[in-house]
Amino acid sequence: MSVKPYETLRNDETMASLVEKFGRVPVEPVESGEEFRRLVVSITNQSVSTESARAVRSRLFDSLEDVTPGAVLETPPEELASTGVGEAKAEYLHETARAFERNDYTREAFAEASNNEVRDALTEIRGVGEWTANMYLIFVLGREDVLPLGDLAVRRGIEGLYGVETRDEMREIADTWKPYRSYGTRYVWKWYEA
């Protein structure tokens, strides 16, 4: 694991204290073949608490047995909804499964794509917005320089750590983390959830 992100983050006194407190955090791509599963996790996590998402995801994964596009499409939306994901997300999961069967959203397919190109491709899928695309960039592709200000915990965390309120102020703070804003984001989450 490269030390460069941590050296960069230590230039920010607040981040330096978080690196000291929490140690190194990974920003790495998932194993090949795990992309769809990870996107299902992000869709399940949309607009719910971490604890709720974990419980729903556990029931959803138990019902599917294998988290693949085929398994999702073979499961009626109402059965998916009954796991706690709800009707809308059940439809989004079906849309996402169909999209994965039609197109290549793997790490390899996006290897040369910019973050904006990845966001554009993913947000064409109904139910995948900017937040979900940013989670994909960080947790699936392992992109190191993503700042998901659409995430409430990130905003609240930066607000609590730095005493700022506007997104412009948050972006300005996070500019000092470049090109490792994904790492800074992971530390903000850790602090917020602690």
Q: pLDDT exceeding 70 applies to what percent of the chain?
A: 98
How high is the pLDDT of residue 154? Answer: 96
Token pair recorded at residue 185 = 């984001």
Q: Nearest to residue 174, comparing CAs of 131, 137, 145?
A: 145
How high is the pLDDT of residue 53? Answer: 80
* Mean pLDDT for the stretch of residues 114-135: 95
Q: pLDDT category, 7, cuts 50, 70, 90?
A: very high
At residue 138, does pLDDT exceed 80? yes
For residue range 59-77, list pLDDT tens digits in order.
Answer: 999 999 899 999 999 999 9
pTM of the model: 0.91
Q: How many helices (H) does the chain have, and how many strands (E)?
A: 12, 0
Phi-psi region of 84 (alpha: psi -120 to 50; beta: other; left: phi over 0): left
C-alpha separations of 153 from 49, 70, 115, 131, 158 in Å: 10, 33, 21, 12, 8
Give dist(CA 75, CA 2) in Å, integer: 42
* Mean pLDDT for the stretch of residues 11-33: 95
Q: pLDDT category, 50, cuts 50, 70, 90?
A: confident
**Delimiting residues of CATH 1.10.1670.40 domain(s) in the chain:** 4-27+146-193
Give dist(CA 156, CA 148) in Å, integer: 12
CATH of 35-139, one of 1.10.340.30, 1.20.1560.10, 1.10.357.10, 1.10.1740.10: 1.10.340.30
For residue range 174-186, list pLDDT tens digits in order.
Answer: 999 999 999 999 9
Query: Are the beta carbons of 194 and 155 closer than 8 angstroms?
Result: no
> What is the CATH number assigned to the segment(s) 4-27+146-193?
1.10.1670.40
Sign of CA dihedral 84, 85, 88, 94: negative
Q: pLDDT category, 45, cuts 50, 70, 90?
A: confident
DSSP-derived letter for residue 59 is H
Backbone angles phi and psi of 124, in degrees to 5: -75, -20
For residue range 142-175, list pLDDT tens digits in order.
Answer: 999 999 999 999 999 999 999 999 999 999 999 9
How high is the pLDDT of residue 187? Answer: 98
Give dist(CA 148, CA 164) in Å, integer: 16
Query: Are the beta carbons of 19 and 174 closer than 8 angstroms?
Result: no
Q: pLDDT category, 51, cuts 50, 70, 90?
A: confident
At residue 1, does pLDDT exceed 60? no
Q: pLDDT category, 56, cuts 50, 70, 90?
A: confident
Query: Helices in 46-180 by DSSP H: which ranges?
Result: 50-64, 69-74, 77-80, 86-102, 115-122, 130-139, 152-162, 167-175
**Delimiting residues of CATH 1.10.340.30 domain(s) in the chain:** 35-139
